[in-house]
């Protein structure tokens, strides 16, 4: 548990630091390990990434809590940086949110993020301009209060994610929800948006003075740098799906070349050597241990 406490404290300290926390979305244990290797501050267990890459199904609450937790735990096991797990809407009602906290906290992850999307959730990036309902604010605040009361360690971090801007409820609604979620005990607020001009987000930032650290996922306003977003007031920036999309592109290109050339060496230039893979998972160390 010592290791889990340290990761949680790192995350908490990062949320107050003068530098931003840069978290990168992982879809499996190896992507998590590589994110750490490249010097990022935290792992985002992307629900979109896990449902796409591990199950090949839409990000629509089809992955169960048990499956999502197993994915997060596999990532947490191979890294020393904090793991923040995307727990969608907590996989159901208030009791599901509470059980989610118990299970994730006991498994050792540093923190969770829970959003106010109704079950079954929609992925926030998917097309759709129509206004849609969210979990009523009072109900979501009640769930957050119950979640915070359920956690067993002080350090565990709860990020409350607001979907008001995505679901077309506007800035006022987002501010009211941020107040309610802060009052319920959330440790940070993730305000999601798909406005690429950042106007909506700027509106929220100028109106909400609640004082909690703010988290951004710039998937649909990707031209803003981490530093620019930090200057605007975000303390944690999640680069949620670029690694998954890079992997998909590489697989598409490799498969297409293999199909055309029907020869394994045709892709040699574009793939890592086999020994690179052995090294990534410390295969030589394993055999050295056995041979000792």
Which listed option, ligand SPV, Mg ion, none, makes contact with residue 73 (CB within 5 to 8 Å by class)?
none
> Which of the stretches 5-13, 40-48, 130-138, 266-274 binds ligand SPV when contact is defined by CB under 6 A?
40-48
Nearest to 111 by CA among 86, 143, 138, 133: 86
Sign of CA dihedral 11, 16, 17, 23: positive
Q: Which residue is nearest to Mg ion (CB)?
A: 47
Which listed option, ligand SPV, Mg ion, none, makes contact with residue 164 (CB within 5 to 8 Å by class)?
none
Residue 86 binding Mg ion, by CB under 5 A = yes
- Interface with ligand SPV (CB under 6 A), residue from 11, 28, 36, 48: 48
Residue 117 binding ligand SPV, by CB under 6 A = no
Which listed option, Mg ion, ligand SPV, none, makes contact with residue 240 (CB within 5 to 8 Å by class)?
ligand SPV
Which listed option, Mg ion, ligand SPV, none, makes contact with residue 217 (CB within 5 to 8 Å by class)?
ligand SPV
Binding mask 51-70 for ligand SPV (x = CB under 6 A): --------x-----------
Residue 140 binding ligand SPV, by CB under 6 A = no
Q: Shortest approach of ligand SPV to residue 44 CB, angstroms? A: 6
- Interface with Mg ion (CB under 5 A), residue from 47, 49, 82, 213: 47
Look up 179 and say whether it is catalytic: no
- Interface with ligand SPV (CB under 6 A), residue from 53, 217, 236, 237: 217
Residue 235 binding ligand SPV, by CB under 6 A = no
Are the C-beta atoms of residues 55 and 67 closer than 8 Å to each other? Answer: yes
| Residues contributing to the site for ligand SPV (CB under 6 A) | 25, 46-49, 59, 86, 123-125, 217, 219, 240-241
The set of catalytic residues is 59
């Amino acid at each position: 548990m010592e290791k889990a406490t340290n990761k949680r404290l790192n995350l908490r300290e990062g949320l107050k630091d003068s530098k931003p926390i840069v978290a990168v979305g992982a879809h499996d244990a190896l992507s998590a390990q590589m994110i750490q290797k490249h010097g990022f501050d935290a792992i985002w267990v992307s629900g979109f990434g896990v449902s796409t890459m591990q199950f090949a199904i839409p990000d629509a609450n089809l992955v169960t809590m048990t499956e999502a937790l197993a994915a997060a735990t596999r990532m947490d096991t191979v890294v020393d940086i904090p793991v923040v797990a995307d727990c969608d809407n907590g996989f159901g009602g208030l009791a599901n949110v509470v059980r989610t906290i118990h299970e994730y906290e006991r498994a050792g992850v540093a923190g969770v993020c829970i959003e106010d999307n109704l079950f079954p959730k929609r992925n926030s990036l998917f097309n759709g301009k129509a206004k849609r309902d969210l979990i009523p604010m009072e109900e979501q605040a009640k769930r957050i209060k119950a979640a915070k009361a359920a956690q067993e360690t002080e350090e565990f971090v709860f990020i409350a994610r607001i979907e008001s801007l995505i679901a077309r409820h506007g800035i006022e609604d987002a501010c009211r929800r941020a107040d309610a979620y802060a009052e319920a005990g959330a440790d940070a607020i993730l305000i999601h948006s798909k406005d690429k001009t950042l106007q909506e987000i700027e509106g929220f930032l100028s109106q909400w003075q609640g004082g909690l650290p703010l988290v951004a996922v710039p998937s649909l306003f990707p031209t803003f740098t981490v530093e620019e977003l930090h200057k605007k007031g975000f303390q944690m920036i999640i680069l949620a799906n670029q690694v998954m999309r890079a992997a998909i592109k590489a697989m598409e290109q490799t498969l297409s070349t293999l199909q055309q050339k029907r020869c394994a060496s045709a892709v040699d230039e574009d793939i890592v050597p086999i020994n690179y893979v052995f090294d990534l998972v410390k295969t030589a160390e394993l055999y050295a241990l056995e041979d000792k």
